[in-house]
C-alpha cells in the first residue's frame, strides 16, 4: 500500500485540531465505532473512511461545519450528509472528510407538522432527517398521508428527495420530488436558504434529484392527500411479454390525480425459479406447487401487481371499480391472486420482509443492485437480451427484479433528475442480495447488462447512478450537464458536498 504524502498527513492533523476548536467540537466524533459505521452503507461493497462524524442537534451545527470548511484557506475537506446509509455504492460517504449523521437531529423540534391552506390543501413540513415511516404515522393522525411513498419507508426524506423517490404510486402522482412545495436547504457555502418554485427557484430545482450536490435538505413541505384505510392488493401472472407490457401501459394510462376510480399503485416483477424465495411468500402455500410448475414450464413469468385503496366512503364500490379497471386483461387464466389488507400493512410489506431476512441473518449482506430507466421503445430488447439471455443463462439472479412503466409527464424536467426521452419509460431494477463471497458474480452480470444496453444503442438512464468519470456523468445528464455544472459552481463552488457520488470529486 502506498504511503500517504507527508503534506496530506499534516493537513489532516491540522484539520483535526481546528475542528476541535469549533463550538460544535463536542458533537464531532473521531472514535473507531463512529468512523466504522460511517465507512459502509447498505450496499456493503464500497468502503470509504472519514476523519470525523458530526452528530448535529440543530441546523446551526451543520451550518457551522459547512461554513468552516468553506472558509478554509488550505485544501477544503469534503462533507456528506447521511441519513440511513441506504445507498449502495458509497454515495453517502466522505473519504478523509466529515460525515453528517442526519438522524441525530431532534425529531421533536424538526419533525413533522401537518397544516392546511386554501391553495395547497393539506401539506406537511417534515425534517430532512425524518424517516418516511415517521412522517406517515404522524400524518395519519390527521387523516391524511403523503401522496407518493417509496416501497421501503425506513429511509429519510432528504435521501429520497436527493434521488427522486419512486414506487408503484409514481405513475399517477409522479415521483416524490414532484410533490414538494418548498424546502429549507444549507448550501455548500454554509448559507441557510428557503427555496420553492417562486423563491430561489434555481436552488429548488437543483436540489430535487440533485444527488446531494447543491445543498443539505433540512425541511421539505410535501403534498398530502386523504388517507385511505385499506387496500385491495392484486397480483396477476403472465407468460406472454407483449400482453404483459400492453396491460401495464393500459393500467397506467388512467392516472388523473383526483379520479377515485383509478388504481393507486402499479408495479411488476420478473419471476424465475432462481429468485423464487423473493416472490413465493406472497402466495398461499396451497398455490405454491402450481406456481412453481408454471415457472418450470415457461422459465420466465411476468407479474403485474396493483393496489386499489379505499375507505368507508368507497368501500361499497371498490370491488366494482377494481373489476372495471382489470377487465379484459390478458393474464394467465386462474392466476390472479387478491388480498384485502390495511393501508398501513400494504405500505409496510417490505418492512415485513426485512424483519424476516434480519432474523435469518440475510439483511446485512452485499447488495449489488442495478437500477435502470429504459425507454418503452426498447423494452422488448431488454426482455430478449437481458431477461432471457443474460439472467436466465447465468442463473444467478437473486432477490426481486422489478419491472414497471412510468409516465414521463409526471416528472418535472426543470429538476436535476434525468429520465429517458419518451412518454413512457420502464423501471428495471435488479435488487440482488448475496453472500460476502459471491457478490462479484452478480456485479459481473450487472456489467454485462450495461454492456448489452450500450452495444445495442439503448438510451437508458441509471437510477441511483454510479459513475466515476466526468465523461460518464456528462452522458448521464445529457443536455442538463451544463446547467448542473453552473449550479454546482453557484451553490457549492468548493465542491464540498456529497463527494461519494464522484461527480466532481473523482479521486
Q: Per the structure block, which three cell numbers stand in for 293?
A: 410448475
Cell of 167: 414506487
Query: Which phi and psi (to 5°) does residue 20 adopt?
Result: -70, -15
Q: What is the DSSP string of 142-153?
A: TTEEES---S--
> Residue 312 half-sphere exposure, CB side, CA atoms within 13 Å?
1
Catalytic residue among 86, 110, 122, 367: 86
Q: What are phi and psi of 192, to 5 degrees?
A: -100, 115
C-beta of residue 50 within 8 angstroms of C-beta of residue 38:
yes
Residue with cell 423494452: 379
Task: Look up 261 and say whether it is catalytic.
Answer: no
Residue that is written with C-alpha cell 404510486 in the block: 169
Q: How big is the CA angle at 135 (ends 410 and 312), to the nearest 5 degrees?
A: 80
Q: How many other C-beta atoms are found inside a 10 Å radius of the C-beta of residue 437?
A: 8
Q: Please give the Cα distance from 246 to 344 (Å, whole number).
A: 30
Give how far the C-alpha of residue 310 lies from the chain's centroid of Cα atoms, to the nearest Å: 26
151 given a catalytic annotation: yes
Pick the catalytic residue from 41, 134, 151, 429. Answer: 151
Dihedral, CA of residue 69, residue 471, residue 207 and residue 417, to nearest 10: -160
**Angstrom distance (rounded) from CA 227 to CA 478:** 39
Can 319 be counted among the known catalytic residues?
A: no
Q: Which of 267, 305, 371, 429 is catalytic?
A: 267
Point out which residues pair with 135 in neighbouring strands.
none
Q: Known catalytic residues?
A: 86, 151, 267
Amino acid at each position: 500500500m502506498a504511503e500517504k504524502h507527508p503534506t496530506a498527513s499534516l493537513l489532516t492533523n491540522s484539520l483535526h485540531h481546528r475542528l476541535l476548536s469549533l463550538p460544535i467540537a463536542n458533537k464531532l466524533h473521531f472514535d473507531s465505532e463512529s468512523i466504522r459505521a460511517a465507512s459502509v452503507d447498505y450496499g456493503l461493497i464500497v468502503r470509504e473512511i472519514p476523519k470525523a462524524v458530526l452528530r448535529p442537534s440543530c441546523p446551526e451545527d451543520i451550518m457551522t461545519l459547512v461554513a468552516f470548511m468553506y472558509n478554509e484557506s488550505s485544501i477544503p475537506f469534503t462533507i456528506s450528509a447521511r441519513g440511513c446509509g441506504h445507498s449502495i455504492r458509497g454515495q453517502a460517504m466522505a473519504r478523509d472528510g466529515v460525515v453528517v449523521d442526519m438522524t441525530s437531529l431532534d425529531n421533536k423540534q424538526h419533525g413533522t407538522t401537518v397544516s392546511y391552506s386554501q391553495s395547497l390543501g393539506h401539506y406537511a413540513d417534515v425534517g430532512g432527517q425524518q424517516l418516511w415511516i415517521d412522517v406517515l404515522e404522524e400524518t395519519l393522525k390527521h387523516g391524511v398521508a403523503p401522496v407518493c411513498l417509496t416501497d421501503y419507508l425506513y429511509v429519510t426524506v432528504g435521501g429520497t428527495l436527493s434521488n427522486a423517490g419512486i414506487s408503484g404510486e409514481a405513475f399517477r402522482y409522479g415521483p416524490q420530488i414532484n410533490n414538494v412545495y418548498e424546502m429549507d436547504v444549507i448550501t455548500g457555502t454554509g448559507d441557510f436558504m428557503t427555496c420553492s418554485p417562486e423563491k430561489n427557484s434555481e436552488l429548488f430545482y437543483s436540489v430535487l434529484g440533485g444527488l446531494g450536490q447543491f445543498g443539505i435538505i433540512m425541511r421539505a413541505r410535501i403534498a398530502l392527500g386523504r388517507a385511505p384505510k385499506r387496500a385491495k392488493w392484486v397480483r396477476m401472472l403472465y407468460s406472454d411479454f407483449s400482453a404483459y407490457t400492453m396491460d401495464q401501459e393500459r393500467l397506467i394510462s388512467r392516472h388523473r390525480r383526483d379520479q377515485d376510480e383509478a388504481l393507486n399503485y402499479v408495479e411488476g416483477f420478473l419471476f424465475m425459479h432462481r429468485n423464487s424465495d423473493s416472490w413465493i411468500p406472497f402466495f398461499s402455500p396451497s398455490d405454491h406447487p402450481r406456481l412453481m410448475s408454471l415457472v418450470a414450464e415457461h422459465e420466465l413469468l411476468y407479474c403485474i401487481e396493483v393496489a386499489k385503496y379505499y375507505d368507508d366512503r368507497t368501500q361499497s364500490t371498490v370491488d366494482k371499480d377494481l373489476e372495471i379497471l382489470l377487465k379484459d386483461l390478458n393474464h394467465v387464466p386462474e392466476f390472479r391472486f387478491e388480498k384485502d389488507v390495511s393501508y398501513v400493512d400494504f405500505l409496510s410489506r417490505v418492512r415485513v420482509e426485512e424483519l424476516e431476512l434480519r432474523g435469518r441473518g440475510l439483511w446485512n449482506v452485499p447488495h449489488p443492485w442495478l437500477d435502470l430507466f429504459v425507454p418503452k421503445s426498447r423494452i422488448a430488447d431488454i426482455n430478449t437480451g437481458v431477461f432471457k439471455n443474460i439472467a436466465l443463462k447465468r442463473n444467478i439472479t437473486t432477490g426481486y427484479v422489478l419491472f414497471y412503466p412510468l409516465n414521463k409527464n409526471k416528472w418535472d424536467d426543470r429538476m436535476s433528475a434525468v429520465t429517458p426521452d419518451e412518454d413512457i419509460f420502464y423501471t428495471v431494477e435488479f435488487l440482488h442480495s448475496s453472500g460476502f463471497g459471491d457478490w462479484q458474480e452478480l456485479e459481473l452480470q450487472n456489467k454485462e447488462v450495461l454492456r448489452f444496453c450500450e452495444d445495442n444503442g439503448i438510451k437508458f438512464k441509471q437510477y441511483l447512478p454510479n459513475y466515476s468519470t466526468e465523461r460518464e456523468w456528462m452522458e448521464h445528464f445529457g443536455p442538463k450537464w451544463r446547467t448542473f455544472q453552473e449550479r454546482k459552481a453557484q451553490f457549492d463552488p468548493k465542491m464540498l458536498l456529497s463527494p461519494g457520488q464522484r461527480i466532481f470529486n473523482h479521486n
